[in-house]
């Protein structure tokens, strides 16, 4: 399980900001990975994207994916980190995010462990 750690990642060379906030150990791990990954040229958590979706009560809500990245070839991707046990509840958000990305020729990826 990820532990709830919070903090600022200050070694982000591919981000536009002086630091990036992380809210779990998984997020911190992914930040480090993105920094190492030579395919990725830019990434941030501070992207301001809110994807509208409807929850099971029929209420309109906004979903904020965790990461936005840009690769060498210019493809852009939204990444959401989720524990596997939460994936089922996450279905509505995921569908909304997929169609949102598709319309923009972007990728949507869920990173899950355990």
Q: Which residues bind other proteins (CB under 8 A)?
A: 3-6, 8, 14-21, 23-24, 42-44, 46-47, 49-50, 52, 54, 56-60, 62, 68-70, 76, 96, 99-100, 102-106
Query: Smallest distance from the beta carbon of 84 to other proteins, in angstroms?
Result: 19
Query: Smallest distance from the beta carbon of 109 to other proteins, in angstroms?
Result: 15
Query: Smallest distance from the beta carbon of 31 to other proteins, in angstroms?
Result: 14
Q: Which of 113, 108, 102, 110 has its CA nearest to residue 80?
A: 110
Query: Smallest distance from the beta carbon of 51 to other proteins, in angstroms?
Result: 9
Q: How far apart are CA 114 and CA 111, in angstroms?
A: 11
Give the dihedral sign, CA 33/39/45/51.
negative
The SS3 of residue 68 is: strand
Cβ atoms of residues 59 and 67 within 8 Å? no
Q: How far apart are CA 63 and CA 47, in angstroms?
A: 12
Between 8 and 33, name the residue whose CB sits nearer to other proteins.
8
């Amino acid at each position: 399980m990820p532990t709830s750690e919070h903090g600022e990642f200050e070694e982000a060379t591919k981000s536009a900001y002086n630091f990036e906030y992380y809210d779990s150990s998984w997020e911190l791990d992914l930040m480090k990975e993105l920094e190492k990954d030579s395919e990725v040229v830019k990434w941030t958590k501070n992207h301001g994207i809110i994807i509208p979706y409807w929850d099971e009560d029929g209420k309109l809500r906004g979903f904020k994916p965790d990461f936005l990245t840009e690769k060498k070839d210019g493809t852009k991707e939204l990444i959401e980190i989720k524990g596997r046990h939460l994936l089922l509840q996450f279905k509505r958000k995921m569908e909304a995010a997929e169609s949102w990305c598709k319309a923009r020729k972007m990728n949507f990826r869920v990173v899950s462990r355990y």
